[in-house]
Amino acid sequence: MYLLILWLPLLGSIFTGFFGRFLGHKGSSIISVICVIISMFFSILAFFEVGLLGINYYIVLSPWIEVGLFKISWSFLFDSLTITMLVIITSISSFVHIYSLEYMQNDPHLPRFMSFLEIFTFFMLVLVTADNFVQMFVGWEGVGLASYLLINFWFTRLAANQSAIKALIVNRVGDFGLSLGILTSFYIFNSVDYLTIFSLAPLFNNYNLNFGGVSISGITTVGIFLFIGAIGKSAQLGLHTWLPDAMEGPTPVSALIHAATMVTAGVFLLIRFSPLIEFSYIVLNILVIFGSLTAFFAGMSGVFQNDLKRVIAYSTCSQLGYMVFACGISCYHVSIFHLVNHAFFKALLFLSAGSVIHALSNEQDMRRMGSLIKFLPLTYSLMLIGSFALVGFPFLTGFYSKDFILELSQITLNNNLGKVEGVFACWLGNLAVFFTAFYSFRLVYLTFLNSVNINRIMILKSHEPSLLMLIPLILLSLCSIFLGYIGKDLFIGLGTDFWKSSIIILPMNSYFIEAEWLDTILKWLPFLFSICGIVLATLINVIKVYKLLYNNFYRIICFLVNKKWYWDILYNRFFVYPILNFGYFVSFKALDRGFIELLGPYGFSILVPTWSSIFIKLQTGQLSHYLFFIVLGVCLLLIVILNKIQLLIFYFVLIFFI
């Protein structure tokens, strides 16, 4: 059963991919959906067995690579962390599968789409169930590949091609860091197995690596490399530029990849390696700083985006920042709890955005929507549930995880704990809450509540989606409402033994109990911030305060935020173009076609004719010249044979006479 969770999506992908032509739309849809749904049921059963009954499974399939100390086997580890991720991935994936049956029903390449979705699910499952670094890397790269294929699904569109390439390459930067991390951990621990590394990690606390005289803690190095991988995959600040661009793919793809699964792989990696990075304060501090910056930056960038999906993409980025800094303050279980909740309400948001886009025949610009509450009441209520869950409205899922993360970050303000970077996390996180509330409700207002901005034909054609799309949406919205309450005690309750050994928090880093004794006003703070955001969005959109805001300062800020703080442009100008120019002018023109060719065949082919023509010209036909060379030759021969320099004098005399 445990392996079937993995094999079923692979099977479905192979069938729909290779035989989609014969199966047709309906056949491939049925096969793929059935495969994923069975996989989901199995993983829920597995969750019962592993998570609730507390039996960890460790399945060794076959040896893979065995060279000396380097032993890798295909083996699968099912512990609480894995099983939680399994449930998320398979359930979100099955919802997306069912959803895309209708969303993509007019697409001529539906079997291909299903195949790609399933291969993505399979690789994601490989990623989370792996018990060693290399197998995890298979899933990691496979997920990147599948994301390329999915973003590029409409391959005739230039923008889709570009953003798919961007996603793949930007991810690859992080993958390089991760592969360095794998190599370093093998160098340090002589093993790539999780269990070996984790049990050795405390013993290597004082182990230092030497880089040309500079000595760096080994665990810190591995942790930083892993975090570079997580930056790429989880779209943290620095490599986040691919995520908003990846919205070029179809909406179900965005829901599957960029909400629930692929971007959480980086956070999953950090949580999985909690036994390792717990021992390095530097890595934890980096996590806090990067995570809180990402949360703040992405929250702010989302504020003035006008693309429906891009707003949600930035919100994803921002929430991932929360998860990462929750890891940084050593609350991995809160981080994974937020990951679970976020997967559900973000998938809900994406899919209901897809429903809006579907109803308006592929109109994505929020400025051209409005008053859809009249035409899509169900989608409106689903979107509202998603938005409330996202802003952390009390008693929805977001409240139980996000507000708890913020409370924990406020704990770090406590002087006794001596965590300076906690201030960073606390304030940036709280400001991000404000922005989150603002853009969520800006989205709701612009799409559903403001007066209409669409032409009549589109309005008349707009309709609620059929049951095929609504069932996943409704299930997701139920999850978004109740999952936080249900899961709270299991995942982050006081003294829960759900995580067992899969997450390790050192006692000196563990202070989530203190969060229970925070000041009440501090506990209210995130809620107050989000209410402020909601009120501001309401003011701007309902009472039309924005007419007061038409001044230059507002316009500049608005422009800057809309252009995502010029990250892309700065990257293009300072990294991409210089590198491309280097590639063309230096490595191609100056080295490959220049210097090396000049020393190689091209230069040789010039050299030989030149010198041979010179030697041909030496033979002038004049008898005296021939005589000169004869005598010259004899002289040189004598010099060589007798090895006497005196004869050179004779030689010079001869030349003098000539």
Partner 1 sequence: MLIYLNTTSVSILLFLISVLGIFLNQKNILVMLMSLEMMFLSISFNLIFASIYLDDIVGQIFSLLILTVAAAESSIGLAILVIYYRIRNVITVELIHLMKG
Residue 648: CB minimum distance to partner 1, A: 16
Single out the residue of 156, 415, 552, 624 in contact with partner 1 (rule: CB under 8 A): 624
Residue 478 to residue 517: CA distance in whole angstroms: 31
- Please identify, among the stretches 42-50, 167-175, 190-198, 619-627, the one whose residues bind partner 1 according to the rule CB under 8 A: 619-627
Q: Are 221 and 177 in contact (CB under 8 A)?
A: no
Helices (H), 392-519: 397-398, 404-411, 421-444, 456-461, 467-491
Q: Are 78 and 46 in contact (CB under 8 A)?
A: yes
Residue 607: CB minimum distance to partner 1, A: 20
Using CA atoms, how far residue 632 sits from 199, 271, 641, 647, 657, in Å, is 82, 83, 14, 11, 12
Residue 248 to residue 260: CA distance in whole angstroms: 17
Q: Is 646 in the site for partner 1 (CB under 8 A)?
A: no
- 3-state DSSP call for residue 57? strand
Residue 596: CB minimum distance to partner 1, A: 34
Residue 249 to residue 154: CA distance in whole angstroms: 7
The two structure tokens encoding residue 51: 């998570």
Residue 636: CB minimum distance to partner 1, A: 15
- Please identify, among the stretches 17-25, 133-141, 328-336, 622-630, the one whose residues bind partner 1 according to the rule CB under 8 A: 622-630
Establish how many alpha carbons lie within 13 A of residue 617's alpha carbon, considering only the half-sphere containing its beta carbon. Answer: 6
Considering only CA atoms, which of 149, 125, 123, 113 is closest in space to residue 29? 113
Which lies closer to partner 1 via its Cβ, residue 373 or residue 638?
A: 638
Q: Is 211 in the site for partner 1 (CB under 8 A)?
A: no
**CB neighbourhood size of 618 (10 A):** 9
Which lies closer to partner 1 via its Cβ, residue 418 or residue 621?
A: 621
Residue 586: CB minimum distance to partner 1, A: 44
Single out the residue of 415, 495, 520, 617 in contact with partner 1 (rule: CB under 8 A): 617
Q: What is the DSSP letter of 564?
A: G
Which lies closer to partner 1 via its Cβ, residue 61 or residue 649?
A: 649
Which lies closer to partner 1 via its Cβ, residue 593 or residue 644?
A: 644
The two structure tokens encoding residue 593: 């076609």
How many residues bind partner 1, per CB under 8 A? 14
Q: Is 620 in the site for partner 1 (CB under 8 A)?
A: yes
Which lies closer to partner 1 via its Cβ, residue 640 or residue 654?
A: 654
Single out the residue of 631, 638, 639, 651 in contact with partner 1 (rule: CB under 8 A): 631
Which lies closer to partner 1 via its Cβ, residue 215 or residue 610?
A: 610
Q: Is 657 in the site for partner 1 (CB under 8 A)?
A: yes
Which lies closer to partner 1 via its Cβ, residue 210 or residue 624?
A: 624
Which lies closer to partner 1 via its Cβ, residue 456 or residue 617?
A: 617
Residue 395 to residue 142: CA distance in whole angstroms: 37
Which lies closer to partner 1 via its Cβ, residue 508 or residue 614?
A: 614
Q: Is 623 in the site for partner 1 (CB under 8 A)?
A: yes
Residue 595: CB minimum distance to partner 1, A: 34
Dihedral sign (CA 246, 255, 260, 430): positive
- Please identify, among the stretches 145-153, 253-261, 502-510, 616-624, the one whose residues bind partner 1 according to the rule CB under 8 A: 616-624
Single out the residue of 545, 580, 627, 640 in contact with partner 1 (rule: CB under 8 A): 627
Q: Is 654 in the site for partner 1 (CB under 8 A)?
A: yes
- Please identify, among the stretches 102-110, 165-173, 522-530, 614-622, the one whose residues bind partner 1 according to the rule CB under 8 A: 614-622
Residue 611: CB minimum distance to partner 1, A: 14
Quickly list DSSP for 63-129: EEEEETTEEEEEEEEE-HHHHHHHHHHHHHHHHHHHHHHHHTTT-TTHHHHHHHHHHHHHHHHHHHH
Q: What is the DSSP letter of 546?
A: G
Query: How far is C-alpha 250 from the chain's CA centre?
Result: 18
Owner of token pair 């789409």: 113
Each residue 558-597 as x (binds partner 1 by CB under 8 A) or -, in order, gives ----------------------------------------
Query: How far is C-alpha 178 from the chain's CA centre?
Result: 12
Which lies closer to partner 1 via its Cβ, residue 510 or residue 619?
A: 619
- 3-state DSSP call for residue 365? strand
- Please identify, among the stretches 146-154, 191-199, 396-404, 620-628, the one whose residues bind partner 1 according to the rule CB under 8 A: 620-628
Q: Is 621 in the site for partner 1 (CB under 8 A)?
A: yes
Q: Is 651 in the site for partner 1 (CB under 8 A)?
A: no
Residue 117 to residue 244: CA distance in whole angstroms: 20
Which lies closer to partner 1 via its Cβ, residue 587 or residue 619?
A: 619
Contacts of 304 (CB under 8 A, 6+ apart): 558, 561, 562
Owner of token pair 């030349």: 655
Residues in the chain: 658
Residue 606: CB minimum distance to partner 1, A: 21
Which lies closer to partner 1 via its Cβ, residue 427 or residue 628?
A: 628
Which lies closer to partner 1 via its Cβ, residue 61 or residue 627?
A: 627
Owner of token pair 């899509």: 376
The two structure tokens encoding residue 128: 């989370």
Q: Is 61 in the site for partner 1 (CB under 8 A)?
A: no
Helices (H), 543-576: 552-562, 567-571
Question: φ and ψ at 259, to 5 degrees?
Answer: -120, -50
Q: Is 616 in the site for partner 1 (CB under 8 A)?
A: yes
Each residue 448-487 as x (binds partner 1 by CB under 8 A) or -, in order, gives ----------------------------------------
Question: φ and ψ at 263, to 5 degrees?
Answer: -70, -20
Question: φ and ψ at 431, to 5 degrees?
Answer: -65, -40
Which lies closer to partner 1 via its Cβ, residue 551 or residue 622?
A: 622
Single out the residue of 457, 618, 641, 645 in contact with partner 1 (rule: CB under 8 A): 618
Q: Are 77 and 85 in contact (CB under 8 A)?
A: no
Which lies closer to partner 1 via its Cβ, residue 486 or residue 630?
A: 630
- Please identify, among the stretches 113-121, 275-283, 445-453, 621-629, the one whose residues bind partner 1 according to the rule CB under 8 A: 621-629
Single out the residue of 205, 414, 510, 619 in contact with partner 1 (rule: CB under 8 A): 619
Single out the residue of 628, 638, 639, 651 in contact with partner 1 (rule: CB under 8 A): 628
**Interface residues toward partner 1, by CB under 8 A:** 616-624, 627-628, 631, 654, 657
